[in-house]
Chain A
Amino acid sequence: MVQEESIATKLPRINEIVWLLEKFDPDTLNALRNQYPEATGLLTKGIQMGGTSSQPASAMKVLVAAALKGLTSGVKICEQSIPEIRRRLKRANALRFASEVLTVLAGASIFTVLAMDFGNIVRYIVAFFALLGSLVALAASFVGGTFHSSGGSLFDYYKELIDCQIDAKRILQELEIWKRSDLTDPSIDAAIKQSNEICSRILKTANLAA
């Protein structure tokens, strides 16, 4: 077997791209590993924590291919998550509106007047509306909440995923052009690093918004 010429330059990292593929699109990752068996080290999850190791001559090709696949999967995750988050936000909005209506009803002066004629029944109804208002408000914050209370609001994630989707599509177009070049331009490194960073943001947001 003819050994490929190896290069020992410092390559941009694709750890988050690989992890995104492994979690959400393992078939694509396996296909990449089969396509580039000489570069399985590059397609391993986690990071090599220092040192230098010689890489196959096809390394840049592998990185660009992985970035393209990773971003494509990332865009798909965004496309699936964004409508779901939007639905949850709409539901939370509706609940919040209902809670406000109930709270307003509970405090309405009409009940004070009615209470003079109907006594206890009206007082029960008012108390019930007040309780329902609080419960619906709680439900609204639950529906509009995130995986962890310290993780921010669902709307923040909605915004972040939209940003990620836009960024991913932009870098995808850029990489498609670079893919046809001889892959020696230093700007490709920056594009791959950005791809890795976008995949990291998508992973974090998708995890927390779930």
Chain B
Amino acid sequence: MKNPRYLFLIVALIVCVGASHHVQAQTQFCPRELLHGYEAEYVRAHTVLPDRTTPRVDDMSVFVTVHGESLYVQSNYAPPGLAQPRASSFGGGLTPFKLATDESISELSEVINILTDPRYYLMPEFRTERDFEAKRQAHEQEIQAAYARGMTIYVEERLFNSSKWRELDLGFASDVRLVTSKFIYKTILRPHALAMVGEKPKRLVALHSNHVFTDIRNTAVVTRFNNTAFRRNDVRVLPLLQDQATLERFKLLIPSALQIDTNHLTSEAVINSFARNQGKILFIIGHIPERTGRLVVEDAAQGEVFSISIKDLEDAAKANHNRLFIMGCKSVTEGAGQGTLEVLNSVNAVDRIYSALGAKTYGDFLRRISDTGSKLNIVVDEVLIEGAERRISISFHHDVIDLALGFGLASGTVIVYEVFSTDDDRRRRVKKTARTSIRRTANGSRGKHRN
């Protein structure tokens, strides 16, 4: 068939007929009022998408959700010259472009490209054989550009509950908004902007700065990262592997005071090391076989020496107020609270930690972790800075105590002090120190103290 005009007519007829029947493993799309079986999705899309239609791809909005095993995508795009415009009962404009597919498509931009492909809508200006391919390619480029700038993507939370579609790559979409049953979260998003991680419980994280993901509902934490000073003495590093290149790099780059002894390691010794390093950021570098949720130490012949579950590590970290960060492949997907979303080389992991030790703030620290050598998507949460923020609070009050002490002793008045901290153990320690200090200094003077 030489004339593509007839080919496209036939394709359009086929897909329109297909749209009225639910057929397995295929894509259904048609600018008709409804896709059979997707009425509920159509209604939900209307509650989110703008009422007006738009002929501009950089102004269009797209709603993405799942229905069973199918991906459902709807937009408010209505190109000029659409072959058969029909009035919509929703909003009164043109019928929205929509598509449902249960085929394997990995990228959302590809789906949107198919959704808006002029071949399937037979616009008159595309009907000349010579110009058609060039115009179609121009349209594709226009869509790609709009996807990165201008297009708004609304993603329903249920997409991330679908085992088939949860890893749909949102690519370089510039404006992705999460739609839950209660709110629409606007996020500042770049590649791999949203990621649903872990089998159970599921977490929804969003990118807030360069390759650093945090819980999507906790956007304020990023500012706190940038405003909290980082001290490298807060870090401890434990390589749970026997690779000699990594261990040599570890011994060469990481200051010995920050190293956790790697000799004679067992799972009990690992847990015990948590208690010796209370309140520290613990980096554990280790191998996590896919879908095991365990760190496995293997010898050179790949025989298992010992293994420890990520859950046990997380529990021990919680009990000892450690700020655990697991540097293994996709550690967050495997159940870690803080860690990586991607595969990672062990030597590179050491290099990242070494680079991060030179940071001034926690924001800088995270940038260095995620951007040394190559880009690495990491997930962190506010536990990372909890200890650091508390330390600042205690130091401040300690200074106040010293000032009050000096002033009180000089004037011979009664000193009353109180230390504010959320950490009871440390509060007791600071109180005790302050009291001892008062007694020692007040000895021989007329100053009195009262708790």
Do A and B pair up? The answer is yes
Q: Which one of A13, A51, A53, A197 has the greatest number of beta carbons of chain B within 10 Å?
A: A51
Complex contact B301–A197 (CB within 8 A): yes
Interface code A197-209, partner B: CB below 8 Å = 1, 0 otherwise? 1011101100000
Cβ–Cβ < 8 Å partners of B344 in chain A = 48-49
**Known A-B contacts A15-B243, A200-B244, A203-B244; A47 and B287 likewise in contact (beta carbons under 8 Å):** yes
Cβ–Cβ < 8 Å partners of A194 in chain B = 301
B43 to chain A, nearest CB (A): 40
A107 within 8 A of B: no
Cβ–Cβ < 8 Å partners of A203 in chain B = 244
Residue from the list A16, A19, A22, A46 in contact with B348, Cβ < 8 A: A46
B377 to chain A, nearest CB (A): 13
Known contacts A22-B245, A46-B348, A47-B345; 18 additional CB pairs below 8 A are A15-B300, A19-B245, A46-B245, A46-B345, A47-B243, A47-B346, A49-B286, A49-B287, A49-B345, A49-B346, A50-B328, A50-B330, A50-B334, A51-B342, A193-B301, A199-B300, A200-B244, A200-B300
Q: Can you name 24 A-B pairs with beta carbons within 8 Å?
A: A16-B243, A16-B244, A19-B245, A22-B245, A46-B243, A46-B345, A47-B345, A48-B346, A49-B327, A49-B328, A49-B329, A49-B346, A49-B349, A50-B290, A50-B328, A50-B329, A50-B330, A51-B290, A193-B300, A193-B302, A196-B302, A200-B242, A200-B244, A204-B244
A45 within 8 A of B: yes
Cβ–Cβ < 8 Å partners of B345 in chain A = 44, 46-49
How distant is the Cα of A150 from the Cα of B401 in the complex, in angstroms?
Answer: 49
B285 within 8 A of A: yes
Cβ–Cβ < 8 Å partners of A199 in chain B = 300
Complex contact A51–B343 (CB within 8 A): yes
Closest chain B residue to A53, Cβ basis: B343
Interface code A12-26, partner B: CB below 8 Å = 1, 0 otherwise? 110110110010000
Q: Which one of A13, A15, A16, A194 has the greatest number of beta carbons of chain B within 10 Å?
A: A15
B299 within 8 A of A: yes
Complex contact A196–B343 (CB within 8 A): no
Main secondary structure of the interface of B (DSSP, over half): loop
How distant is the Cα of A78 from the Cα of B328 in the complex, in angstroms?
Answer: 34
B241 to chain A, nearest CB (A): 7
Which of under 10, 10 to 19, 20 to 34, or 35 or more describes the interface residues of B? 20 to 34
Which of under 10, 10 to 19, 20 to 34, or 35 or more describes the interface residues of A? 20 to 34
Cβ–Cβ < 8 Å partners of A19 in chain B = 243-245
Cβ–Cβ < 8 Å partners of B334 in chain A = 50
Closest chain B residue to A22, Cβ basis: B245
Closest chain A residue to B346, Cβ basis: A46
B44 to chain A, nearest CB (A): 35
Q: Which one of B249, B327, B346 has the greatest number of beta carbons of chain A within 10 Å?
A: B346
A9 within 8 A of B: no
Complex contact A49–B343 (CB within 8 A): yes
**Known A-B contacts A47-B243, A49-B349; A12 and B290 likewise in contact (beta carbons under 8 Å):** no
A52 within 8 A of B: yes
Cβ–Cβ < 8 Å partners of A12 in chain B = 302
Closest chain A residue to B240, Cβ basis: A49
Residue from the list A45, A50, A197 in contact with B347, Cβ < 8 A: A45
Closest chain B residue to A52, Cβ basis: B290
**Known A-B contacts A46-B246, A46-B346, A49-B349; A196 and B301 likewise in contact (beta carbons under 8 Å):** yes
B288 within 8 A of A: yes
B256 to chain A, nearest CB (A): 15
A59 to chain B, nearest CB (A): 16
Complex contact B300–A51 (CB within 8 A): no
Complex contact B302–A51 (CB within 8 A): no
Cβ–Cβ < 8 Å partners of B243 in chain A = 15-16, 19, 46-47
How distant is the Cα of A200 from the Cα of B299 in the complex, in angstroms?
Answer: 9
B412 within 8 A of A: no
B289 within 8 A of A: yes
A60 to chain B, nearest CB (A): 16
Cβ–Cβ < 8 Å partners of A22 in chain B = 245
- Among A182-203, those with CB < 8 Å from B are 193-194, 196-197, 199-201, 203
A29 to chain B, nearest CB (A): 12
- Among B252-311, those with CB < 8 Å from A are 285-290, 299-302
Complex contact B288–A50 (CB within 8 A): yes
Complex contact A16–B241 (CB within 8 A): no
How distant is the Cα of A48 from the Cα of B343 in the complex, in angstroms?
Answer: 7
How distant is the Cα of A12 from the Cα of B345 in the complex, in angstroms?
Answer: 16
B247 to chain A, nearest CB (A): 10
Top 7 A-B residue pairs of the complex, sorted by shortest distance between their CB atoms: A50-B329, A46-B347, A200-B300, A51-B343, A51-B329, A50-B288, A197-B301
B206 to chain A, nearest CB (A): 22
Q: Which one of A13, A44, A46, A197 has the greatest number of beta carbons of chain B within 10 Å?
A: A46
Cβ–Cβ < 8 Å partners of B342 in chain A = 51
- Among B94-116, those with CB < 8 Å from A are none
Cβ–Cβ < 8 Å partners of A204 in chain B = 244
- Among B155-185, those with CB < 8 Å from A are none
Cβ–Cβ < 8 Å partners of A48 in chain B = 329, 343-346
